[in-house]
A and B are shown apart, each in its own frame.
Chain A
Amino acid sequence: MSGVTPSNPFSLTKANDLSDDQIQELWVDIAPPDSPDSLFSAGRFASPMPTFILGSKGSGKTHLMRYASFALQKKRFEREKLRSLAGARADGYVGIYTLCSGLETGRFQGKGQSEEAWLEVFSYYLELSLGIAALAAIDDLLDGEARNHIEPRLCAAVGLLFDSDPPPANGVGALINELERRRRELDYQVNNAAFTGELVPNVTASRGKLIFGIPQAFQNCSSDLCGFIFAYQLDELENLTEAQQKHVNTLVRDRRGPATLKIGARQFGIKTYATMSAGEENIRDSEFEELRLDLRFRRNEKTYRDLVALLVERRLQNFWPHSSTGLAGRGRRLTDWFEEPKRDPFDPFFQKLVKGAPSSERPHIFRLRNALAARLPRGGVGSVQNDEDIAEITNAIAVPEAPLLEKLNTFLIFNAWARGLDLKQTAMSVKSDCEAFVTSKAAGRYRQKLDHYKSDLIAQMFRDASFRHNYGGLDEFTRMSEGQPRALITLLKQTFDWATFQGERPFEAGSISLDAESKGALAAADWFYNNMRKAGSEGQAILIAVDRLAELFRINRFADNPIECSLIGFSVSARIGSETSQRNLRLALDHSFLVEILGGQSERNSEQVTGKFQLNRMLVPKWGLATGRRGIKPLSEVELNAIFDPEMSEAFENVKADWVSRMNAPFDRARRASKDFANGDADDSQNDLFSD
Chain B
Amino acid sequence: MRSSPRHDPVTDELQSKIKTLHSSIWERRADWPEVLDWLDQFEENDDPDADEQLQALRLLSSFMYFGVNEIRALLRSLFRDTFRPQVAKEVRSSLSSSITLGMVGSMVEAELRRTRFVSLGNPSESSALLLYYFRQENSLPKNLFLHGSDIFDLSALGSGGSLMVQNTDITRYVFIDDLCGSGHQAKEYSDRVVKPLKSISPDVKTYYYPIFGLSNGIEHLRTHSAFDEVYPVVELDPTFRAFATDSRLYVEPKIAQLRLPTEATCRRYGGELVPAHPLGWEDGQLYIGFAHNTPDNSLPIFWCDHTGSRPWRPIFRRYPKVFW
Contact = CB atoms under 8 A, between A and B. Distances in A.
Contact of B33 (A462, A467, A502, A519): A502
Interface in A576-606: none
B122 interface: no
B7 A2 contact: no
A497 B23 contact: yes
Contacts of B321: none
B252 interface: no
Interface in A509-535: 514-515, 519, 523
Contacts of A1: 28-30, 34, 317
Given A497-B23, A501-B22, A501-B23, A2 B6 contact: no
Interface in B1-42: 5-8, 12, 16, 19, 22-23, 28-34
Contacts of B30: 1-2
Interface string B277-292: 0000000000000000
B31 A515 contact: no
A503 B32 CA distance: 7
Contacts, number: 45
B93 to A, nearest CB: 41
Interface in B110-163: none
Contact of B29 (A2, A500, A514): A2
A440 interface: no
A515 B32 CA distance: 13
A497 B23 CA distance: 9
Interface in A1-53: 1-2, 5
Contacts of B32: 501-503
A2 B19 contact: no
Contacts of A497: 19, 23
A2 B8 CA distance: 26
A466 B8 contact: yes
A515 B28 contact: no
Interface residues of B, number: 17
A477 B143 CA distance: 61
A502 B31 CA distance: 7
Given A5-B28, A497-B19, A501-B22, A468 B5 contact: yes
Nearest to A518: B5
B255 to A, nearest CB: 21
Nearest to A497: B23
Interface string B305-318: 00000000000010
A467 B6 contact: yes
A659 interface: no
A498 interface: yes
A465 B5 CA distance: 10
A501 B29 CA distance: 11
B27 to A, nearest CB: 9
A468 B31 contact: no
Contact of B19 (A462, A466, A467, A501): A501
Interface string A444-483: 0000000000000000001001111100000000000000
Interface in A477-503: 497-498, 500-503
B6 A503 contact: no
A514 B19 CA distance: 17
Contacts of B6: 465-468
B63 to A, nearest CB: 14
Contacts of A465: 6
Contacts of B12: 468, 519
Given A2-B28, A468-B5, A468-B7, A498 B19 contact: yes
A322 B8 CA distance: 36
Contacts of B19: 497-498, 501
A515 B34 CA distance: 17
B8 to A, nearest CB: 7
A466 B9 CA distance: 10
A72 B31 CA distance: 40
Q: Which of A462, A468, A469 has the most CB of B within 10 A?
A: A468
A509 B248 CA distance: 43
B189 to A, nearest CB: 31
A497 to B, nearest CB: 7
Contacts of A5: 28, 31
Given A2-B29, A462-B7, A515-B5, 8 more contacts: A1-B34, A1-B317, A2-B30, A5-B31, A497-B23, A503-B33, A519-B12, A523-B16
Interface of A: 1-2, 5, 462, 465-469, 497-498, 500-503, 514-515, 519, 523
Q: Which 9 A-B pairs have the closest CB atoms?
A: A503-B33, A468-B7, A502-B32, A2-B31, A501-B19, A2-B28, A467-B5, A1-B29, A501-B32
